[in-house]
Each structure stands twice: as C-alpha cells, then as structure tokens.
Amino acid sequence: MINQSVHTLDLLYYLGGSVNGVKASVSQLLDYGIEVEDTVMANLFYENGANGLFMATNANYKNESVQISIQLDQAEFAIIENVLYRINPDGSREQLAEDAKFFGSKFYYGASHGKLINKFYDSIEKDNQDYLHVKDALMSIRLIDSIQESGRTGMFAPLKEL
C-alpha cells in the first residue's frame, strides 16, 4: 500500500473526506519474495456516512491504471486512465476532463509528480508555503495503519491519532 497505492488512498480521502475506520483484508497472493502485502481490499467508513471500497493489487498479470468510481444519489462518475467521466443512466460516458499523460507503457501515472515537484521548487523561489506538507499525508498514513490492523485482526479498525 505504501509504495503502490498510497496516492489512491490520498484521492479517496480528498474525494470522500475523513474516514472513521475500516474493515479490511490484507494478503500475499503471490510469492514475490517480498515482505509486504501484494493485495488489499478495504471497506472505508467515512465520517459523513458514505462508504468506500478500496482494492489494490500488484498480483496482476499486466500494468493497469488506477480506476475510481463514485456513485451518488443523483449521479455517477468514473476516473479511468486519467480521464474523468460522467456515467449517464444508459451507461454511456461523457468525458468531463483529462489529465496530461506520460509517454510509454505507464502513461496512466500522469503528470502529477512533476507538477508537485515544480510547485515545491516554485514555493522555495517565492518563499511561500504553497506546497504539500507532511501533515497532508497524515490521513493516508492513518488509513494504511488501520487497514493493516484490520487485516491482522479481521475486525473493524478505527483510525487512530498519530
């Protein structure tokens, strides 16, 4: 989680808000010789009453982009390969926005890392605080800790203060 899917957890927090706790399954499906999980599923319980489902694996036969689906009472949206779509009631997609893509086989990583690094350097040059701070990662780190705990115990794990 910390290496491959932490940015997806960031997005789930950014889109859904604070999370109260999780119920998760954490496993190692393949024998890669690594010391960490290769597959995670978690039900996220948000403070606002919404639920989220997080699935991540690197036990996949090919590289695939992050996909996020959002179902609301009156609308449905999806992010697939850096494109934001509105999903119409008939199942058709309406493209709303598209992020820049890198060239090559992992184009779906997008241009966000470069944008953030440039923003950081720009804030140094302009002597301001307009960049991501360590505290901005706190919710994702708390989520990872709770997902790991729930995976170990098989129980609901509330998010703990760090």
Structural domains of the chain sorted by starting position, each given as residue range(s) with its CATH number in brackets: 6-100+136-157 (3.30.360.10)
Q: What percent of the chain has pLDDT over 90?
A: 49
CB 67 within 8 A of CB 56: no
pTM of the model: 0.82
Structure tokens at 85: 């779509």
* pLDDT bracket for residue 142 (50, 70, 90): very high
Cα separation of 103 and 128, whole Å? 32
Neighbour tally for 102: CB within 10 Å: 14
Q: For residue 102, what pLDDT is reported? A: 67
Q: HEC string of 104-133?
A: CCCHHHCCHHHHHHHHHHHHHHHCCCCCCC
pLDDT tens digits along 69-106: 999 999 999 998 889 999 999 999 999 999 877 666 56
Q: For residue 34, what pLDDT is reported? A: 78
Checking if the pLDDT of 48 tops 80, the result is yes
Q: What percent of the chain has pLDDT over 70?
A: 92
Checking if the pLDDT of 109 tops 70, the result is no
If you average pLDDT over residues 18-45, what whole number do you get? 91
* pLDDT bracket for residue 108 (50, 70, 90): low
Cα separations in angstroms, 36 against 1, 13, 16, 67: 9, 23, 27, 23
* pLDDT bracket for residue 127 (50, 70, 90): very high
